[in-house]
Amino acid sequence: MTEMTTSTTPMAAGEPLVRVKGLKKHFPIHGGLLRRQVATVYAVDGVDFDVQPGEIFSLVGESGCGKTTLGRSLLRLVEPTAGTVTFRGRDVTGLPAGELRALRRKMQIIFQDPFGSLNPRMPISDIIGEGLLAQGLTDRKTRDSKVEDALETVGLRREYTRRYPHEFSGGQRQRIGIARALALEPEFVVCDEPVSALDVSIQSQVLNLLLDLRRDFNLTYLFISHNLSVVQYFSDRVGVMYLGRIVELGTVAELYRNARHPYTIALLSAIPEPDPRRRKKRLVLTGDVPSPVAPPPGCRFNTRCWLREKLGNPERCVTEEPELRVLQSGHQVACHFAEDVTSAAVVAVAASQPAIAPAASEPA
């Protein structure tokens, strides 16, 4: 399976930069007087993928699908429950604290919230400089000039080192967050929704910056987003997540043109396009994402699946969990009936939907 993944990428040669295998992250929920574990949140529940050197691999999905937790487990900001993460052939999950710190120089993260991710009581020189000091990349004397270099690299003025975060706009703060990660000269950067909190006119600035930096520093990105248009523009390959698992994975061209998972199709149909001529009848999913505390048995998407309904609710969807399998087109999909997905079927389903789609009942 992983061989197939590699072969679908343009740069097939050699080892992947990051390889994720069977990754799980379960959060216990404690309750009651004795604080016993009463339930488990299956945030990430068995994920495999490779990231090739130099590519932009995106994870898309809705809130609660586990994409953010997944990104953080790669850097061990949250400790994975099971599975392995390999960086340049080396298993990261078992590293002792000292080696983990050294590794963090190579694997960095850019956060979503430009306000929450900068310490409001620290000047920019400390915010960007503390990583440099912690990694032993500079000493106190040369720190400020390195911080200034980093600021300049992300388009900010060198003189800003003594300023505090609250003096900057959202986009400028996001640039500071990028400078903090980039100052360590990492090879791999997890970008966790880096533009979702920004104004539309600022988003494109930051996307351009990320692309420039990738070129300048030979970076590899794991780009996490819920915005399918941004992902389509930005990435080489995409993994679609639903309730802690990847349900479809392929190159951008393949996935956007020839999506085969009913969930991916619904996601794509839901994108509002800024062109009034293209108003369309959407394929609207009923109901909400089920709670990751109790994922549905069988296929996790079966409670909202329009394809299953169209096929007359086959038993297999509730009894057997579909594994990612490679289709003829080369991309991977986790659906028993992916071959039954045709554009005609999609149009037919969309057209037959009632004007006011009921919100499916959820457990109260």
Partner 1 sequence: MTETISATPPLGAPPDRDTLLEVRDLRTYFRVLDGTVPAVDGVSFSVGRGKTIGIVGESGSGKSVTALTIMRLLDIPPAEIGAESEVWFDGREILRIPLNVMRKVRGKDMAMIFQEPLTSLNPVFTIGEQIAEQVRLHLKTSGREATDRSIEALRLVGIPSPESRIKQFPHEMSGGMRQRVMIAMALSCEPKLIIADEPTTALDVTIQAQILELLKAIQQRTGSALMLITHDLGVVAEMVDHVVVMYAGQVVEQGTVEEVLLDPRAPYTMGLLESIPSVEKRGGRLSVIKGVVPSPFNLPPACRFEPRCPYAWDLCHEEAPPLSRVGSADRLARCHLHTSAGDSRRGAALQQHIDAMRVGGTIRDAPA
Partner 2 sequence: MTDSRKPQGAVASDLVRRAEEAGQDYEVGLESLSQMQLAWRKFKGHRLALLGLTILGILIGVAVLGPLLLPYNFATIPLPDKIVYEGRPPSAEHFFGETGGLQRDVFRLVVNGARTSLFIGFSSMFIGVVIGTIVGSIAGFVGGFVDNFLMRIVDVMLSLPVLFVILVASRFFGNGNVILIVVIFGLFSWMGISRLVRSQFLSIREREFVEAARAVGVTDRRIIFRHILPNAFSPIVVSSSLIVAGNIIGEAFVSFLGFGVNPTTPTWGNILSNALTFIPLGNWWWPLFPGMAIILTVLAVNFIGDGLRDAFDPRSRA
* Residue 120 interface partner, choices partner 2, partner 1, none, CB cut-off 5-8 Å depending on type: partner 2
Which option in partner 2, partner 1, none does residue 111 bind, with CB closer than 5 to 8 A by kind? partner 2
Q: Which residues bind partner 2 (CB under 8 A)?
A: 72, 75, 77, 101-102, 104-105, 108-109, 111-113, 116-123, 126, 130-131, 134-135, 142, 145-146, 148-149, 152-157, 160, 162-164, 166-169, 171-172, 175, 177, 180-181, 184, 205, 208-209, 212, 215-217
Which pairing describes strands 56-60 and 220-225: parallel, antiparallel, or unpaired? parallel
Q: How far is the CB of 346 from partner 1 (least distance, A)?
A: 14
**Which listed residue (119, 233, 314, 348) binds partner 1 by CB under 8 A?**
233
Give Cα 154 distance to the centre of its chain. Answer: 23
Phi, psi of 295 (to 5 degrees): -65, 145
- Binding to partner 1 by CB under 8 A, coded x per residue (else -) over 31-70, reads -------------------------------xx-------
The option from partner 1, partner 2, none interacting with 113 (CB < 5 to 8 A, set by class) reads partner 2
Q: What gap in Å lies between CA 129 and CA 183, rounded to an integer?
A: 8
Work out how close the CB of 355 gets to partner 1 at its nearest, in angstroms, rounded to a whole number: 4
- Could you tell me how far CA 334 lies from the centroid of its own chain? 18
CB atoms within 10 A of CB 97: 6
Position 275 contacts partner 1 (CB under 8 A) = yes
Least distance between partner 2 and beta carbon 208 (Å): 7
Contact pick of 36, 121, 201, 344 for partner 1 (by CB under 8 A): 201
Cβ distance to partner 1 smaller for residue 207 or 317: 207
351 is a contact residue toward partner 1 (CB under 8 A): no
Name the residue nearer to partner 1 (CB basis): 79 or 275.
275
- The CB-of-274 to partner 2 minimum distance in angstroms stands at 22
Chosen residue from 207, 238, 249, 333 binding partner 1 by CB under 8 A: 207
CB of 130 to partner 2, least distance (A): 6
Q: Which residues bind partner 1 (CB under 8 A)?
A: 62-63, 169-172, 199-205, 207-208, 211, 226, 228-230, 232-234, 252, 256, 266-267, 269-279, 282, 284-286, 288-289, 355-362, 364
